[in-house]
Amino acid sequence: MADLHNHDIEPTRPDLGLEAVSSAPVVNDGPAPMGKQLLGFWVTFRAMFKKPNTVQYPEVKEPTAERFHGRHQLNRHPDGLEKCIGCELCAWACPADAIYVEGAANTPENTMSPGERYGKVYQINYLRCVFCGLCIEACPTRALTMTNEYELADNSRESLIFEKQDLLAPLRAGMLMPPHPMYPEMNDTNYYKGDVPHAHPSQEVKND
Amino acid sequence: MGLIVGLEEKLPSGLVLTSVEKLAGYMRKNSLWPATFGLACCAIEMMAAGAGRYDLARFGMEVFRASPRQADLMIVAGRVSNKMAPVLRQIYDQMAAPKWVIAMGACASSGGMFNNYAIVQGVDHVVPVDIYLPGCPPRPEMLMDAILKLHDQIFDEKLGPNRAKVIQEVEAAAMAAKPTHQLKGLLA
């Protein structure tokens, strides 16, 4: 180490080749010719006669894409029994922890869905939900699907936690409001195969 | 608005005050100027809502003010980190009353899927929120829907003695509400 006493410690700068990189020369050709200017103005002028592309939203609602991810819906079997079996797979799949499910056992007096269990408590927190659709992919019975409804804004946090009654599909023709017994001589497998066409008269619960 | 705000204190509650309320509400809701407060991807949808296709100018809202002094509405568009929270609060404080806040998107409303140490779990921890808008991000129509719901809310806003009565009623309802530990699941 002969250079210990060398006070000239500043290293020599490498040649970065800065001299070689010269900026592009500035060329001032003056204003564009009249023809080119008019061409530019023509674009502006033409736009005045174009149809406006504004969607008049609250009055005119353009349909969303067919597979738009909107509010969820809990579906029913054709006889009105719920498809949800309370398995909580949607809650497990949810990346935002927005779903809460509590299952309970079906009893002969209180049959909400074909099979052993049904979703007793079902809540979706729309403040957390990111509408990714992983819950729909996870659902083994196609109980949970998404609708195209998107007008969800509200003024309190509580009102944006949707409960089961807010999410359940409405009763359509041929459906009976559960709880009611299963279709006669059919088990849950028949339900999933689509063998149940509509509610059977014997399924009606008589209130004595 | 200054004239009306001064007047309402002197008016007794009755026909005159309700007329003034309606006039003030009508004027306020039709000249709602938002502050620019885009924080994340929701801001892109907010810009789309301001652009030609959705055109917030139809509601008298085309001017996104860079200065909070000239804004009435803060659209918190995006996730608010703990570091951003004091800034958000300062901008809110600098806005002249009356002022409103929309929490746009899941992150601003509740933290969304970012349930971690860095993100404020809902902007209502920092500022009072008038409308929560879910979605990730919400499409421009959803934002406009939230804005229109806020317009209705502003139009029905009470002034003077009527306002004091409303505040009392809200307070009483909050006291009578079911405690959260008795609620189930996500409501707890």
Q: Measured between beta carbons, which residues in chain A are less than 8 angstroms from residue B140?
A: 57
In a domain, A105, yes or no: yes
Beta strands in chain B (DSSP E): 34-35, 73-77, 100-104, 131-133
- Which of A51, A53, A57, A158 to mutate: most B Cβ within 10 Å? A57
B54, B131, B142: residue with CB nearest A55: B54
As for the ipTM of the complex, it is 0.83
- Report the residue of chain A nearest B100, measured CA to CA: A155
In a domain, A84, yes or no: yes
Cα separation, A193 vs B127, in Å, equals: 52
Length, in residues, of chain B: 188
Q: How far is B143 from chain A (nearest CA, A)?
A: 8
- Asked whether the beta carbons of B74 and B99 are under 8 A apart, the reply is yes
A54, A95, A156: residue with CB nearest B53: A54
Q: Do B112 and A130 touch (CB under 8 A)?
A: yes
Higher-pLDDT residue of A139, B1: A139
Closest CA to A127 of A158, A163, A169: A158
Q: Do A121 and B53 touch (CB under 8 A)?
A: no
Q: Do B122 and A157 touch (CB under 8 A)?
A: yes
CATH class of domain segment(s) B32-175: alpha beta
Q: Residue A108 is part of a domain; what is its CATH number?
A: 3.30.70.3270
What is the span of the domain harbouring residue A164? 78-168
Site of tokens 């004595």: A208
What would the mean pLDDT of B78-102 be, rounded to a whole number? 92
In a domain, A164, yes or no: yes
**How many structural domains are present in chain A?**
1
User: Residue B50 has which token pair?
Assistant: 């301001």
Q: Do A123 and B186 touch (CB under 8 A)?
A: yes
pLDDT at B10 over 80: no
Helix (H) or strand (E) holding B176, with range, is helix B160-176
Give, for all 208 residues of chain A, the pLDDT tens digit. Answer: 455 555 566 666 666 665 555 667 777 778 888 988 899 899 999 989 999 889 998 899 999 999 999 999 999 999 999 999 999 999 999 999 999 999 999 998 899 999 899 999 999 999 999 999 999 999 999 999 999 999 999 988 888 999 999 999 999 988 989 888 898 888 889 999 988 888 888 888 766 5
pLDDT at B19 over 70: yes
Task: Kindly report the pTM of this predicted structure.
Answer: 0.81
Q: Do B131 and A96 touch (CB under 8 A)?
A: no
Q: How far is A16 from chain B (nearest CA, A)?
A: 39
- Report the residue of chain A nearest B52, measured CA to CA: A54
Question: Cβ of A104 under 8 Å from any chain B Cβ?
Answer: no
What pLDDT was estimated at residue B174? 80
- Residue B1: band (very low, low, confident or very high) from pLDDT cuts 50, 70, 90: very low
In a domain, A95, yes or no: yes
What pLDDT was estimated at residue B179? 74
Q: A204: Cβ–Cβ under 8 A, 6 or more apart, which residues?
A: A176, A180
B112, B130, B140: residue with CB nearest A96: B112
Each domain of chain B, given as residue ranges in start order, spans 32-175
Amino acid identity for residue A186 in this structure: M
Q: Measured between beta carbons, which residues in chain B are less than 8 angstroms from residue A152?
A: 133-135, 142
Would you say the C-alpha torsion A107, A111, A117, A122 has a positive or negative sign? negative
What pLDDT was estimated at residue A12? 66
In a domain, A188, yes or no: no
Q: How far is B85 from chain A (nearest CA, A)?
A: 19
Q: Do B135 and A131 touch (CB under 8 A)?
A: yes
What pLDDT was estimated at residue B91? 93
Q: Do B110 and A61 touch (CB under 8 A)?
A: no
A194: alpha, beta or left, given left = phi > 0 and alpha = psi -120 to 50?
left
- Residue B63: band (very low, low, confident or very high) from pLDDT cuts 50, 70, 90: confident
